């Protein structure tokens, strides 16, 4: 797996969401359910924007949003603590891997 993070996204993670890139990596490694596609019109991309909710090694829950490119290359769009509604949606639709 290769994670691509633009300088702008890295800055947003740090200043707005207080999330480190290491925490994002931990979420990918600790993920136990499938990715969900963000099919809202304003978030549509090609390839599609995907997301999941997972925990860091210290138990912090994050929503990770990314675009998956061929050969397991992931382009990070954002990561932050999910809202209760986002957790509800993920719990309802994301099946175990």
Give the number of other CB atoms < 10 A from CB of residue 57: 12
- Tell me what pLDDT residue 77 has: 97
Predicted confidence band at 1 (pLDDT cuts at 50, 70, 90)? confident
- Distance from C-alpha of 97 to C-alpha of 95, rounded to nearest angstrom: 6
Tokens standing for 25? 């990596």
Q: Contacts by 43-49 with C-beta closer than 8 Å and gap 24+?
A: 49/77
Q: Say if pTM beats, i.e. exceeds, 0.85.
A: yes
The mean predicted confidence, pLDDT, of the chain is: 95
Among residues 35, 38, 74, 77, the alpha carbon closest in space to that of 53 is found at 35
For the cut 90, the answer to whether the pLDDT of residue 62 exceeds it is: yes
Percent of the chain's residues with pLDDT above 70: 100
> In sequence order, what are the beta bridge partners of 67?
49, 75
Looking at the domain 2-93, which fold is it?
A: Nuclear Transport Factor 2; Chain: A, (3.10.450)
Tokens standing for 95? 């099946």
């Amino acid at each position: 797996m290769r994670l691509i993070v633009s300088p702008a996204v890295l800055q947003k993670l740090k200043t707005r969401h207080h999330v480190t890139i290491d925490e994002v990596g931990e979420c990918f490694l600790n993920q136990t359910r499938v990715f969900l596609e963000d099919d809202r019109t304003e978030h549509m991309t090609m390839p599609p924007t995907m997301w999941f909710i997972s925990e860091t090694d210290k138990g912090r829950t994050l929503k990770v949003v990314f675009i998956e490119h061929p050969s397991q290359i992931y382009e990070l769009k954002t990561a932050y603590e999910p809202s209760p509604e986002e957790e509800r949606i993920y719990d309802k639709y994301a099946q175990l891997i």
